[in-house]
Chains A and B, each alone.
Chain A
Amino acid sequence: RATLESAKEFKKVVDTVAQILDEICLIANEDGITARAMDPSHVALVSLEIPRLSFEDYEIEGEKEIGIDLEAFKKIMNRAKSKDKLILELDEEKNKLNVIFENSGRRKFSLALLDISASEIKMPEIEYPAVVMLKGDAFKEALKDADLISDYVILKVEDNKFIVETKGELNDFSAEFDEDSSALISIESQGHAKSAFNLEYLLDMVKGIKAGDIVKLYLGTDMPLKLEYSLGGANLTFLLAPRIE
């Protein structure tokens, strides 16, 4: 049984993960809740971690695997109201996850669990030549700009600048974040990094980002992008395979 202070914040987590995956197996143990899975095409990976400390209350015995249909969970979470607390309660007898919104009253959905097991995927240990921290909404806006021009985007780090660019058949777009840019928090690089990525996936991954959030990007040349940010007490990490010329 786990209680989160803001159901509405957690809704964003579920929305974002549901953009990429159809189902997920949550692992709940005394450290908190984690989950990791690749999308069916193996282009993207989502890793979710909600540390025990993010919960207002958290009770567990042993370790539980909770298989969830994300489309159904998303629909339920969309009913969260702004002051609702969220209680997630595993009913092992009925094989259901109770999703409870608590405010002046108490609304309970019982979500049927899926018979899936947790994936054994470990994050690959990749050495990245460049790490960029920037304001999440600035990154999201640059991706939306690029989306007007093409279906892919090039993310580059060169000369202590982070660049988002794309070329269409007729039109081009580029956004530069250098040390003078208030959106750029930090940039560490050993040499250049340049990789191209599918924009649809990237836009799905940044869906939950809002003003004030900070994203951390790990980049290389023709390497997967690693993207991290925190949302509603959850740490989200995404990997996205590059497009290669």
Chain B
Amino acid sequence: KAIYRNDTSQRTFEEIKEEIAHYG
């Protein structure tokens, strides 16, 4: 049976956006 992972994000979208921009 499929096991789902709880959505446990500790970060805001702005923080993730900044993190991704770092790869540019």
A complexed with B: no
- B residues with a Cβ closer than 8 A to A are none
